[in-house]
Structure 1
Amino acid sequence: MNLWTRAVRAELRKLFTTRLWWGMAIAVLLSGAAFALLFAFVFTSAAVEGPQGAGAPTTDGALAKSVFTGGLQIGYLLTLSVGVLTIGSEYRHQTITATFLAVPRRVRVMTAKVAALLVIGAFYGVLSLAGAVGAGSLALSAKGHAPFADSTIWRTLALSLLVLGLWALIGLGAGILIPNQVAALLISVAVAWIVEPVLGLVLALTDWGKSVSPYLPSRATTAMLDTSTGGFDNQPVAQLSWWAGALVLTAYAVVMAGLGTWRTVRADIS
Structure 2
Amino acid sequence: MNPLIRTELLKLRTVRSPWLLLAASPLLVVAGASGLAISGNRPLDVVAQSQALAHVGLASLFTLVFGILAVAGEYRHQTITDTYLSTPARGLVIGAKLLVYSVFGALAGVVSGVVGLAVTAAWWAGKGASFAWADPAMWTTIGGGIAWNAAFAAIGVGVGALVRSLVGAIAVALAWVALVEGIVGQLIGGLARWLPFNAGQALGAAAEPMMARDLLPRWGGGTVLVVYTFAFAVLAVGTSMRRDVS
Question: Matched residues, percent identical?
Answer: 29
1: distance between equivalents of 2:192 and 2:131?
Answer: 32
Query: Is the 8 Å Cα contact of residues 57 and 200 (structure 2) preserved in structure 1?
Result: no
TM-score of the two chains, using structure 2 as the length reference: 0.89
Change (3 A) 1:190 1:210: closer
Match of 1:6 among 3, 6, 30: 3
Query: Is the 8 Å Cα contact of residues 65 and 227 (structure 1) preserved in structure 2?
Result: yes
Matching residue of 1:55: none
2: distance between equivalents of 1:181 and 1:24?
Answer: 14
Change (3 A) 1:184 1:229: farther
Change (3 A) 1:96 1:202: same
Change (3 A) 1:21 1:176: closer
Matching residue of 2:192: 213
Match of 1:187 among 146, 154, 172: 172
Moved over 6 A (4+): none
Question: Which blocks of at least 5 consecutive residues in structure 2 are unaligned?
Answer: none
Match of 1:20 among 17, 21, 27: 17
Match of 2:162 among 154, 160, 177: 177
Query: Is the 8 Å Cα contact of residues 181 and 197 (structure 2) preserved in structure 1?
Result: yes
Matching residue of 1:37: 34
Question: Which blocks of at least 5 consecutive residues in structure 1 are unaligned?
Answer: 49-58, 204-208
Q: Which amino acid aligns with 1:219?
A: N
Is 1:124 equivalent to 2:108 in the alignment?
yes
* Mapping of residues 97-136 of structure 1, within 5 Å: 97-136=81-120
Change (3 A) 1:166 1:39: same
Change (3 A) 1:211 1:91: same
Query: Is the 8 Å Cα contact of residues 118 and 162 (structure 1) preserved in structure 2?
Result: no
Is 1:94 equivalent to 2:91 in the alignment?
no
Q: Which amino acid aligns with 1:198?
A: G
Is 1:265 equivalent to 2:241 in the alignment?
yes
SS of residue paired to 2:168: helix
TM-superposed CA distance for 1:88, in Å, is 0.6
2: distance between equivalents of 1:102 and 1:220?
Answer: 38
Structure whose residues are more often helix by fraction? 2
2: distance between equivalents of 1:221 and 1:179?
Answer: 24
SS of residue paired to 1:46: coil
Q: Once the two structures are superposed, what CA deviation does each residue of 1:166-221 show, in whole Å capped at 9, x if it has no partner?
A: 111221111121132211111212222x1144225403xxxxx3322221222211
Query: Is the 8 Å Cα contact of residues 76 and 163 (structure 1) preserved in structure 2?
Result: yes
TM-score of the two chains, using structure 1 as the length reference: 0.82
Count of aligned pairs between the two proteins: 245
Query: Is the 8 Å Cα contact of residues 21 and 66 (structure 2) preserved in structure 1?
Result: no
TM-superposed CA distance for 1:226, in Å, is 4.1
Is 1:60 equivalent to 2:41 in the alignment?
no
1: distance between equivalents of 2:116 and 2:176?
Answer: 25
